[in-house]
Structure 1
Amino acid sequence: MNLISICLISFVFLFVMSMTSLGLGLMSIYFNMSMFLEWEIISLNSSSFVMTLILDWMSFLFMSLVMLISSVVIMYSQSYMKSDMTINRFILLVLLFVLSMILLIISPNLISILLGWDGLGLVSYCLVIYYQNVKSYNSGMLTALSNRIGDVAILLSIAWMLNYGGWNYIFYLNFMKDQFYMLIIGYLIVLAAMTKSAQIPFSSWLPAAMAAPTPVSALVHSSTLVTAGVYLLIRFNVLLQETLCFKILLLFASLTMLMSGLSANFEYDMKKIIALSTLSQLGLMMSILSMGYLELAFFHLLTHAMFKALLFMCAGVIIHSMSDFQDIRFMGGSVKFMPLTSICFSLSNLALCGAPFLAGFYSKDLILEIVCMSQINLVIFFFFFFSTGLTVSYSIRLIYFSLIGGFNLFSMFSFHDEDYTMIKSMYVLLVLSIVGGASLSWLIFPTPMMIYLSFHLKFMVMYVIFGGMILGGLIINFSLFNLNKLNLYVSLFFMKLMWFLPNISTFGVNYSVLFLGGKIMSVLDLGWSEFLVGQGLFKNLKKLTIINQIGQLNLLSVYLKFFFIWILILIMLCLNN
């Protein structure tokens, strides 16, 4: 089967399933219904293995978006990956990835959640190391090992659920939320969600996962893998509301927002900038979720998926056209040569900033207004709004360096955006990035929320956006002209390296262990154990065999020695008697 037919079949199947899921989701919202399905796979005497599924408006809408973005990404990959010799393997891995995410979405059971959770981890490892080189292997190992912490937390929560005689957590959340065992399960779920959604201190794997092909990045950073942790906490929200664990999560998520925004403003790798923006938005979702607004977090999760997938796909087209350069300092002038891609890129960036009436505006603006109405302290309030300003700042910087600034690549180099397969697939997400936010807000919040704020608090979002634009302009100015004159190397180094989290996650975890292993090998394996067991045993056996060989040579002196020893023994025996 050739490439075009595989991509086309996958695209049509996923698109049809997405529309079906959307229709069922609309029915679920209209009739206010949810379905809980049980399928007995095998039964042996009194034991039965049952697969359970939960199908409500939330799972239907999320599945619809995941399959829609996946179908568009596969269509995009048909052109983006056409020179790859193993494109069939790539498409199969993407389909496995989507299947794992769907299994996670519709599971009310911790066992089947673990299947989807582990499936995401394993397939993401295979996709990160897809371009087989040292950097990919290192990134894949960091991604896999960071996510294993979350897998262990899920396994431990499965063990604790044995106290209730079943793993369908959805039955126990409301009735047993004050019990000690259930709280331990909730804490373990929070730990798992923090690893999968890359919150501090597990943030370093998310930019490292950029070693994967760009279509995979578009899928991972929009609707799969990183959103799995947020979705799991949305399901467990009832259990953890107003607990100490959620207050700690609010602090860590806010710090993640701040850290990723600062790092993105001093990063030069295009894909890493967009990855850090994903990290910032995940921090926003986690923080509003830990304040108890699960529908708001889910709303932002859906709107973010639309424009973030588009942002990655536009970045892929630009990188592809720039001879695979990812450094934004080599880019510039794309708006003159690639007008269609530049429109999509600019609109997705504006949606990310929360520009009025695009998809991101409806969720981000509502979240920030709810934050203004909530009883939180000034530090968290500052984190929310300052991080929003940083988002605008790095978006302006990214647009300037990649689209508007001077062209900095090779001389006599021309490029264009006439790859209509990629452009058409991007148009689907462009429409969603424009109208998706308003449509989803009508569906998820049929009754308007009452927001009561003072004049300046109401316009605080606009103040922050304009402040972010000014900050972005200042950073561009420093980057172009004055950076070498400023004595800011230490602070920039600190900001650019994500508060040293990648170093801590790699050298901090494995360097001391490897150093200890080297010492043990030199002292024990090559030292005492070698002296006593390996070479020592060999030398002793060699001495014994030499002595034995002397005895075997039948020399007269040997016989005389044995005769003399025999006479001495007889004399001693006689004297004793």
Structure 2
Amino acid sequence: MKLMSICVLSFIFLFSFSVVIFLIGVYYLFIDYSVYIEWELFCLNSSSVMMTLIFDWMSLIFISFVMFISSLVIYYSEDYMSSDLNMNRFIMLVLMFILSMFFLIISPNLVSILLGWDGLGLVSYCLVIYYQNVKSYNAGMLTALSNRVGDVLILISIAWMLSFGGWNYIYYYDYFFSMFDMQVIVSLIVLAAMTSSAQIPFSSWLPAAMAAPTPVSALVHSSTLVTAGVYLLIRFNPMLISSGWSYFMLIVGCLTMFMSGLGANYEFDLKKIIALSTLSQLGLMMSILSMGYPNLAFFHLLTHALFKALLFLCAGSFIHNLGDFQDIRFMGSIINYMPLTSVCFNVSSLSLCGMPFLSGFYSKDLILEVVSLDGFNLLIFFLYFFSTGLTAMYSFRLFYYSMFGDYNFFSSSYFDDSSYFISFGMIGLLFVAVFGGSMLSWVIFPLPYTIVLPLYLKVLTMFVVLLGGYLGYLISLMGISSLLGTLFMYPLTLFFGSMWFMPFLSTSWVSYYPISIGYLSSKSFDYGWSELLGGQGLYSLFIGFLQYIQGWYDLNYKVYLLLFIYWMFILISMFLVF
């Protein structure tokens, strides 16, 4: 009863605050109002260390969404983590994560941003290694090391800003156009955001982090941690556009979107498919942000958080009922056993594909129409629409493997939708996954975008989605992917299915080889010449010398006599020679 009260109280507290904060954020948006709080902690060499908080419509709405999703995830965890002996620790870790996210969201100051950023990385590591096995430890170490790169870059930017008298980047918007120092700071922040949001070449940690419990994946790896980099770049958007990094981020975002969409079509692990889907949407947010549309990127960030959290919760319900099996080939005809979960799962998948009048449609369709209108080159246009088709392909492939065909699990197993806590968490997110997109579009864009396109471009989005879904269904139905993978196109399948070899590069080149070089150097220098000529060598020399002297004392007179005869023979021989 005590454990249940912790989850229920956390749910009530977070849900109530999310509603209140959302209403305040909408009010601030309508009256165009912001609250800026700043107080000085101490002054060091004329640099004031300030604690700064900014409450505008963007930060308040984002906080409300984080609290809403986390409240339902904690309520869902009451049943999902019921067999865990350390439920208290799990809830406390999740609450610490939410607190770190608050610091990141409401801070326009690089020092306090680093506080939230470090908290996110540390608590994320603790949650990824929660199950305490070798796979979890490896995944947690990859996650921690990848995010440490971002920490180091933010630390360097803090040190670089020391000469400006403060770390509040809002004060320096006007200087970013001319000063070399500010260009360096923008470069560091962009690279830090790439590590947190898992852009190429830092993409391998996001699928590896699926070793965490599924409620953690629903909260951390769909709506909070992975979007921290996107949110940071939304705040830095005036500087990003004025620098030369916007074109670089456009290419990187499009390639990340394309790479993860291809990889998800070759994956059979349910959570990794959804993780690669998250990576694809992060690439979409980064690329549209670098084109100069921060509000549109923020709109897609919010709608994506809603339907992706629901997708993870449904996947967790499947895994929980299938005895912790995550391979989609074990599934089949689950709709007959779990109709409620299947409905929520398919609604969130269709919202991910951008089906009309679901929440994902309002952001994805608007993004693709803006791309069509903006007049970028053919490569960017192709990557956007082809990646959208790949999204529909892996979604319908997942739909086919889980809902159609034969029941491929153990014949004696039985499961259903009987859990109240899991069902309540999914239903709570189902309504916002259906209605949230239209509601947010009315709030964020009270005046509609005027996008005038020819008919073939206007219907191209829907055509690509339908064609991608149909191709995904056909490939799954005929088993073409497994046939091509085993017989004819194995090298190509290995390349696409392993995220362009990025996990191997991250573990081998980034982790294994530097550590091996360090071991060899320490073996050669610390344990080698320096040790031989230093402490260990002197120790061996003294021990040998003492043993030699001790031998003289221990030996008997026969040895002395033999030595005397030996030396006398040497002396007589020398005398006779001379």
Shared fold per TM-score greater than 0.5? yes
Map Cα deviations across residues 435-472 of structure 1 (whole Å, 9 max, x no partner): 00000000110101110100100011011112201220
Q: Does 1:390 align with 2:390?
A: yes
**Equivalent position SS for 2:479:** helix
Within 2, Cα distance between the matches of 1:153 and 1:374? 32
The aligned residue for residue 6 of structure 2 is: 6
The code of the aligned residue for 2:349 comes to: N
Distance 2:489 2:409 in 1: 28
Give the secondary structure class of the aligned counterpart of 2:36. strand
8 Å CA contact 2:36–2:53 kept in 1: the answer is: yes
Distance 1:44 1:82, change over 3 A: same
Alignment partners' CA distance in 2, 1:65 and 1:292 = 24
In terms of mean alpha carbon deviation, does 72-81 or 508-517 score higher?
508-517
Cα 1:550–1:455, aligned 2, differ >3 Å: closer, same or farther? closer
CA shift for structure 1 position 478 = 4.5
Q: Deviations over 1:463-507 (max 9, x none)?
A: 111220122023213537744774121111111100000000001
| Post-superposition offset of 1:48 | 6.6
Moved more, 111-120 or 242-251: 242-251
Deviations 1:61-108 (A, max 9, x none): 100000000100000001100110001000000000001001100001
Q: Which residue of 1 aligns with 2:546?
A: 545
TM-score, structure 1 normalization = 0.92
Figure out how many residues of one structure are paired with residues of the other and give that number. Answer: 559
Q: Answer whether contact 1:303 1:436 (CA < 8 A) is retained.
A: yes
Partner of 1:91: 91
2:576 equivalent in structure 1: none
1:133 corresponds to which residue?
133
- Aligned partners of 1:183 and 1:240 also within 8 Å: no
Closer, same or farther in 2 for the Cα pair 1:303/1:544, shift >3 Å?
Answer: same
Q: Once superposed, what is the RMSD of the aligned Cα atoms?
A: 2.4
Q: Tell me the residue number matched to 1:17.
A: 17
On the 8 A contact 1:304/1:360 being kept in 2, the answer is yes
Query: Within 2, Cα distance between the matches of 1:550 and 1:350?
Result: 88
Tell me how far apart the structure 1 counterparts of residues 262 and 287 of structure 2 sit (CA, whole Å): 18
- In the other structure, the counterpart of 1:337 is 337
State how far apart, in whole Å, the 2-side matches of 1:330 and 1:33 are. Answer: 53
Structure 2 counterparts to residues 375-454 of structure 1, below 5 A: 375-454=375-454
Deviations 1:257-309 (A, max 9, x none): 00000000000000000000000000000000000000000000000000000
Q: What's the offset of the Cα at 1:520?
A: 3.5
In the alignment, the residues of structure 1 paired with residue 48 and residue 197 of structure 2 have an alpha-carbon distance, to the nearest angstrom, of 34
Aligned to 2:477: 477
Cα displacement string for residues 313-348 of structure 1 (whole angstroms, at most 9, x for unaligned residues): 000000111111000001111101100000000000
Query: Is the partner of 1:51 in helix, strand or coil?
Result: strand
After the TM superposition, which residues 67-466 of structure 1 pair with which residues of structure 2 at under 5 Å, given as runs?
A: 67-466=67-466
What's the secondary structure of 1:499's corresponding residue?
coil
SS in structure 2 of the partner of residue 241 of structure 1: helix
Provide Cα deviations, 1:371-420, integer angstroms capped at 9, x if missing partner.
00112110011000000000000000011111223210111222111101
Look up the SS of the partner of 2:308 in the other structure: helix
Q: How do 1:16-95 and structure 2 match up within 5 A?
A: 16-40=16-40, 50-95=50-95
- The equivalent residue for 2:497 is 496
The 8 Å contact of residues 114 and 154 in structure 2, kept in 1 or not, is answered as: yes
Deviation at 1:546, TM superposition (A): 4.8
Call closer, same or farther: CA 1:539–1:42 in 2, change over 3 Å: closer
Question: Alignment partner of 1:37: what SS?
Answer: strand
SS at match of 1:224: helix
Native 8 Å contact 1:221 1:305 kept in 2: no
Give the 3 Å change call, closer, same or farther, for CA 388–550 of structure 1 in structure 2.
Answer: closer
Q: Which moved more, 1:92-101 or 1:15-24?
A: 15-24
Please tell me the residue identity of whatever aligns with 1:341: T
Q: Distance in 2 between matches of 1:466 and 1:136?
A: 38
Q: CA deviation at 1:109?
A: 0.6
User: How far apart, CA to CA, are the structure 2 residues paired with 1:444 and 1:337?
Assistant: 40
What residue is the counterpart of 2:571 in the other structure? none
Measured in 2, the distance between the counterparts of 1:327 and 1:29 equals 45
In structure 2, how many angstroms separate the alpha carbons of the residues matched to 1:290 and 1:44?
36
Distance 1:29 1:543, change over 3 A: closer
| 8 Å CA contact retained: 1:393, 1:471 | yes
In structure 1, C-alpha distance between the alignment counterparts of 2:384 and 2:6, rounded to whole Å: 44
Matches for 1:524-543 after TM superposition, within 5 Å: 524=525, 527-529=528-530, 531-533=532-534, 536-543=537-544
Distance 2:231 2:485 in 1: 44
Query: TM-score, normalization: structure 2?
Result: 0.92
2:507 maps to 506
2:572 is aligned to: none
Runs (5+) with no aligned partner, structure 1: 562-577
**Equivalent-residue separation in structure 2 for 1:94 and 1:392 (angstroms):** 32
Relative to structure 2, which stretch is displaced further, 107-116 or 405-414? 405-414
Cα separation, 2, equivalents of 1:529 and 1:401: 61
Contact 2:104 2:113 in 1 (8 A): yes
Residue 287 of structure 2 aligns to a residue whose secondary structure is helix
Distance 1:14 1:39 in 2: 27
What secondary structure does 2:500 align onto?
Answer: helix
1:299/1:440 contact within 8 Å kept: yes
Closer, same or farther in 2 for the Cα pair 1:551/1:328, shift >3 Å?
closer
Higher mean alpha-carbon deviation, 310-319 vs 168-177, is at 168-177
The one-character-per-residue Cα deviations of 1:120-148 (angstroms, maximum 9, x if unpaired) are: 00000000000000000000000000001
Residues 96/397 of structure 1: CA separation in 2 closer, same or farther (3 Å cut)? same
Paired with 1:476 and 1:550, the residues of 2 have a C-alpha distance of 82
What are the ranges of 5 or more consecutive residues in structure 2 without an aligned counterpart? 565-578
Shift of the alpha carbon at 1:223? 1.7
Q: Secondary structure at the match of 1:440?
A: helix
The DSSP-based 3-state class of the residue aligned with 2:375 is coil
Aligned-pair CA distance for 1:179: 1.5
Greater CA deviation, 153-162 or 202-211?
A: 153-162
Paired letter, 1:18: S
Deviation at 1:230, TM superposition (A): 0.2
- C-alpha distance 494-46 of structure 1, shift in aligned 2 (>3 A): closer
- Separation in 1, partners of 2:461, 2:106: 36
Contact conserved, 2:333 with 2:407, CA < 8 A, in 1?
Answer: yes
Using the alignment, how far apart are the partners of 1:150 and 1:224 within structure 2? Answer: 16
Deviations 1:125-183 (A, max 9, x none): 00000000000000000000000111111111111112311011111113543321111
Deviation at 1:50, TM superposition (A): 3.3
